[in-house]
Structure 1
Amino acid sequence: MSWNWQAIITHFPELLKASITTLELVVLSSVIGLIFGVVLALLRLSKNPLVQVFPFLYIFFFRGTPLLVQIFLIYYGLGQFKAIQESVLWKPVLSQAYWCAIIAFTLNTAAYVAEIVRGAIQAVPRGELEAADALGMSPVQKFTRITLPRAFGIMIPAYSNEVIFMLKGSALASTITVMDLMYASKVIIAKTYLTLEIYFAAGIIYLLISWLILALFRLFDRSFNKHKRYNPVQK
């Protein structure tokens, strides 16, 4: 068996162009999912059992069911309700595969981010919180100036992994005809019958995107947590 390297070179720009849609899906769902995740985490940390019920059930559902099922429920399922078809969001948003994919990815990643944020908040050193109390900070000041910033610093590595997982999961958007990297690969393969070569090229692009995401998070982590770096005094 011989590889058709010329086909890879020829179609690589087309795959790169399609990867822009993949990046859009990942970035939008990750950013919006982070916001929702923080809210869910705060609700989960509430001392009121009634407040904890919704986030618990939400997280249980979206972490316990496959992402592909969630995509199908949103893209195919919502259209079964006449009230949704007659709503103002139907044509511009809910009838579009692109936005349905973003909604599904956002809801899914928010569930995982919520647990990451919750764990990070609980991991904030108690001594720092006690120091904030000693300084006379109000609960809001302590949360916004100490708890939340420290929690974000703690959760960066785990959140970067979640973004990578979302990048891999974004390939499922092709199942509802979103013109992402995986969908473009399938179209090219249907025309050329070069399955191995095209999927190899797509895999390289996914690998490059993953490397870029990890590099950006590493830089952000070093900048945000620069106080953790220890410079020994030279004797």
Structure 2
Amino acid sequence: MAFFDTLAANLPKLLDGTVTTLALTGLGAAIAAAASPGLALLRANGPLPAQLALRAYISFVRGTPLLAQLFLVFYGSGQFRAELTALGLWGFFRDPFNCAVLVFAVNSCAYQTEILRGGIQAVAVGEIEAARAVGMSRPTIMRRVVFPHAYRIAWPALGNEIILLMKASALASIVTVFDLMGRTRQIFSRSFEFSVYFQAAVLYLIITACFVYLWRFAERRMSRHMAAPGRA
């Protein structure tokens, strides 16, 4: 009974942290999803200088810890306060939530770009040639042939990336963002009830399970025309 008593007492703060976690993950993933298609296209077929610049960016993001990137932006921006103030950006960078969203977006964008690049390069050449044969322009081919197939190929990997981003969002608590893990640490520091970490783990599990279900449902909808006859 003591466990359920502490759960009832902790739940409002944990749910408040859960909302922040979902906001961090959703905003970071959405910004990355908006930027990654164009970057993936440049990474796959762009001019060499653009490919080299993107390769350097992706290598840096994938080769350094997310925590280090978060510290660089949150604490490092304070070193340029005068310059950021002159540009009108200090109000953005002094907010830890904004810094966390920016870092998560930049980090996820690198991974999503590479995932989509693989999807674009996996599209069958014959399908592109067939689209050209019927008179489609290059933008139309990208919109109606390349990207639909690329997203279908990359969809499971993109889902895994968002799940990893959601779990990595727990690092935001280190820069005083009160997400789910931040609220958990706050509750523990006051009550020393270790069970609060188990409660937080269950909430993370519930979020992940719901996301996986919705992502797989979307994947089935995207691939319903490929189902075997009688099983659609």
Q: What TM-score comes out, normalization by structure 1 length?
A: 0.93
Q: Match for 1:210 among 208, 211, 232?
A: 208
Which residue of the partner structure matches residue 85 of structure 1? 85
**What is the total number of aligned residue pairs between the two structures?**
230
- In the alignment, does 2:190 pair up with 1:162? no
Q: Please say if residues 27 and 101 of structure 2, whose CA atoms lie closer than 8 Å, have aligned partners that are also in contact.
A: yes
Alpha-carbon separation, structure 2, partners of 1:117 and 1:140: 17
Q: Please say if residues 44 and 117 of structure 2, whose CA atoms lie closer than 8 Å, have aligned partners that are also in contact.
A: yes
Which residue of the partner structure matches residue 217 of structure 2? 219
Which residue of the partner structure matches residue 175 of structure 1? 174
* 1:148-205 CA-partner distances (Å, limit 9, x unpaired): 111111111110000000010000000000010001001100111012x000000000
Tell me by how many angstroms 1:134 deviates: 1.9
Tell me by how many angstroms 1:3 deviates: 6.8
Q: Please say if residues 44 and 121 of structure 2, whose CA atoms lie closer than 8 Å, have aligned partners that are also in contact.
A: no
Which residue of the partner structure matches residue 44 of structure 2? 45
* 1:100-147 CA-partner distances (Å, limit 9, x unpaired): 000000000000000000000011122211221221212221111100
Tell me by how many angstroms 1:212 deviates: 1.1
Gaps of 5+ in 1: none
- In the alignment, does 2:52 pair up with 1:30? no
Tell me by how many angstroms 1:14 deviates: 2.0
Provide the alpha-carbon RMSD of the alignment. 1.6
Q: Match for 1:200 among 183, 198, 201?
A: 198
Alpha-carbon separation, structure 1, partners of 2:164 and 2:3: 30
Q: Please say if residues 59 and 112 of structure 1, whose CA atoms lie closer than 8 Å, have aligned partners that are also in contact.
A: yes
Tell me by how many angstroms 1:26 deviates: 0.4
Q: What secondary structure is seen at the aligned counterpart in 2 of 1:45?
A: helix
Alignment of 1:224-235 (within 5 A): 224-231=222-229
Q: Please say if residues 44 and 120 of structure 2, whose CA atoms lie closer than 8 Å, have aligned partners that are also in contact.
A: no
Alignment of 1:125-144 (within 5 A): 125-144=124-143
Gaps of 5+ in 2: none
Q: Please say if residues 185 and 199 of structure 1, whose CA atoms lie closer than 8 Å, have aligned partners that are also in contact.
A: yes
Alpha-carbon separation, structure 2, partners of 1:127 and 1:27: 36
Tell me by how many angstroms 1:79 deviates: 1.5
Alpha-carbon separation, structure 2, partners of 1:149 and 1:136: 19
Alignment of 1:78-117 (within 5 A): 78-81=77-80, 82-91=82-91, 93-117=92-116
Tell me by how many angstroms 1:8 deviates: 2.2
Tell me by how many angstroms 1:47 deviates: 4.6
Identity, % of aligned positions: 38
Alpha-carbon separation, structure 1, partners of 2:86 and 2:75: 16
Alpha-carbon separation, structure 2, partners of 1:158 and 1:107: 18
Q: What TM-score comes out, normalization by structure 2 length?
A: 0.94
Tell me by how many angstroms 1:53 deviates: 1.6
Q: Please say if residues 18 and 181 of structure 1, whose CA atoms lie closer than 8 Å, have aligned partners that are also in contact.
A: yes
